[in-house]
Structure 1
Amino acid sequence: MPAVTLENTITLAMSVKDRHASATWYADMLGFDLLYHADDAGWSELQTKTEGVTLGLGEQAAPAPGNMVPVFGVADIDTARAALEAEGVRFDGPTEVIEGMVSTATFYDPDDNALMLAQDLTGDA
């Protein structure tokens, strides 16, 4: 049995210089649908053509090329994080909370690939 029970969602998070321009590009080039721009959080999200898979765009002044972090949805981030930590999984700092939006926690696989857990705080989940 896995240490964590995931929900049926995944967000592919990527850093970009201009979220609005990138969102337009993904809509025009790949047919993704804009879900929202959260300007206060520096985040935009688009629905891909695959059910349960979204593309998240985080605005960075100098994004690293080729960056992509899979973000796995969980119902309770504290429980999921504790279960992974009990198995020796390394996390990058404390869980971050954007009130009314999301809680996130970055962790690493054995090859130091970044992954993230996210709990939806909007009440829509």
Structure 2
Amino acid sequence: MPVVTLEDTITLALSVRDRHTSAKWYADNLGFEVLYHADDAGWSELQTKTVGVTLGLGEQSEPSPGNTVPVFGVADIASARSALEEAGVKFDGPTETIEGMVSTATFYDPDGNALMIAQDLTAEG
């Protein structure tokens, strides 16, 4: 039995210089649909052609090419994080929350690859 039960969604998070320009590129060239731009959070999200898979674009002044972080949806980030920590999984700092939007926590696999869990907070409230 797995330590954590994941939801049926995954977001592939990329670092980009300009989210709006990149979102247009993905829409024009790959047919992805822009779901939203969260300008205050520096984040944009697009629906890929695969059900349950979105592409997240995080704006950074100096993005690291090739640094894709899979973001796995969870129903309760506190319990998921706790279960992973009890299993010896290493996290990178505290859980971060953007109120009314999302809570995220970055962790690492045995080879140091970054992964993330996220709880959608948009339905709360």
The equivalences for 1:42-121 within 5 A come to 42-121=42-121
Superposed CA deviations along residues 65-103 of structure 1, whole A, max 9, x for unmatched, are 111000000000000000000000000000000000000
TM-score, reference length from structure 2: 0.98
Aligned AA for 1:114? A
> 1:110, 1:94 → 2: CA distance?
19
CA RMSD of aligned residues (A): 0.7
The aligned counterpart of 2:41 is: 41
Aligned residue for 2:111, secondary structure, equals: coil
Kindly provide the CA deviation profile for residues 86-125 of structure 1, in whole angstroms up to 9, marking residues without a partner as x.
000000000000000000000000000000000000008x
Match of residue 5 from structure 2: 5
> Can you give the 5+ residue segments of structure 1 that lack an aligned partner in the other structure?
none
Unpaired stretches in structure 2, ≥5 consecutive residues? none
SS of the equivalent of 2:66 reads coil
Residue 25 of structure 2 corresponds to: 25
In 1, Cα distance between equivalents of 2:83 and 2:19: 34
Percent identity for Structure 1 against Structure 2: 80
Deviant stretches of 4+, over 6 Å: none
Whole-angstrom distance in 1 between the partners of 2:69 and 2:17: 16
**In the TM superposition, what is the alpha-carbon distance from 1:38 to its structure 2 partner?**
0.0
